[in-house]
């Protein structure tokens, strides 16, 4: 069944009326996914990861991740919807960590072998938790839904205008390339935002924000020559990221100096 043009326009309008704001930055974002839905997806995904990955029994690693995670969670300064905080260490050489809606945080032993201190770990965990507090996952889902809505509108407009199949194919290819590039740019923006917000969380928990720079310098050495071209990547280039973190770490030093007295 063909969708009438007027109905498509109405659906597209509905797509753009849902907006939220990232509290720490004030950036407005399209949001078509409820916090409850995000939490349900996060809890289900974390349960799947725990079934598929080997959970570490290393007491030192588990204590470190829980210790740092609890301080970062407290530094957020507000309750997350239906958060049931849980910190799990997974046995893997991956130099990685993640956080999911619902307060679920996973850290791989490969990352813990690389970090040199609680401060460096806090900067990484702060970044991952910032993705959740800023609702970046829901925003990405919403952007994909919006892109699909625009595609529907374009198809309806070409149908109404009796555009030839050849020109429709060219238009679809151009739109596909443009929407992919746009989504990649949004992803890089989210990564930079998570760096800024996450570093604020780490500093507010009494961890030295300058540790983010030393950590990413290690990552730069490890990934030398392996990075994709910036505009085909979901993340900013490492050197660009380090420069931004150097600036932010100086900005958050007073917050760190004030907060660390609570933990001495």
pLDDT tens digits in sequence order for the chain, 264 residues long:
444 444 444 444 444 456 889 999 999 998 988 999 999 999 999 999 999 999 999 999 999 999 999 999 999 988 787 788 999 999 999 999 999 999 999 999 999 999 999 999 999 999 999 999 999 999 988 877 766 655 565 556 556 665 566 644 544 444 344 445 556 776 889 999 999 999 999 999 999 999 999 999 999 998 776 676 665 576 788 999 999 999 999 999 999 999 999 887
Smallest Cα–Cα separation from 132: which of 177, 99, 159?
99
Q: In the chain, how many domains are there?
A: 1
Residue with structure tokens 């990232």?
22
The DSSP code for 55 is B
Q: Are 107 and 65 in contact (CB under 8 A)?
A: yes
Domain extent at residue 31: 5-263
Q: How far apart are CA 72 and CA 50, in angstroms?
A: 22
Q: How far is CA 14 from CA 6, 54, 153, 198, 235, in A?
A: 12, 43, 13, 32, 30
Give which of 107, 118, 116, 125 is closest to 201, Cα–Cα: 125
């Amino acid at each position: 069944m063909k969708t009438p043009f007027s109905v498509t326009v109405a659906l597209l309008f509905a797509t753009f009326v849902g907006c939220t704001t990232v509290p720490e930055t004030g950036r407005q974002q399209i949001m078509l996914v409820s916090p409850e839905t995000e939490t349900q997806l996060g809890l289900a995904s974390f349960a799947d990861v725990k079934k598929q990955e080997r959970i570490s029994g290393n007491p030192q690693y588990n204590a470190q991740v829980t210790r740092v995670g609890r301080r970062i969670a407290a530094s957020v300064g507000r309750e997350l919807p239906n958060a049931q905080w849980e910190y799990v260490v997974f046995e893997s050489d991956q130099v990685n960590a993640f956080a999911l809606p619902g307060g679920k945080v996973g850290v791989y032993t490969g990352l813990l072998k690389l970090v040199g201190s609680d401060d460096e770990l806090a900067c990484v965990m702060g970044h991952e938790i910032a993705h959740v507090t800023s609702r970046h996952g829901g925003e990405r889902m919403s952007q994909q839904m919006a892109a699909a809505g625009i595609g529907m509108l374009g198809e309806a407009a070409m149908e109404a205008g009796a555009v030839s199949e050849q020109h429709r194919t060219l238009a679809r290819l151009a739109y596909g390339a443009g929407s992919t590039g746009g989504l990649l740019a949004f992803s890089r923006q989210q990564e930079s935002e998570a760096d800024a917000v996450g570093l604020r969380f780490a500093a507010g928990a009494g961890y030295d924000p300058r540790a983010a720079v030393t950590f990413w310098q290690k990552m730069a050495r490890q990934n030398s020559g392996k990075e994709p071209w910036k505009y085909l990547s979901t993340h900013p280039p490492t050197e660009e990221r380090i420069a931004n973190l150097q600036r932010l770490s100086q900005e958050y030093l007073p917050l760190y100096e004030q907060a660390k007295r609570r933990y001495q």
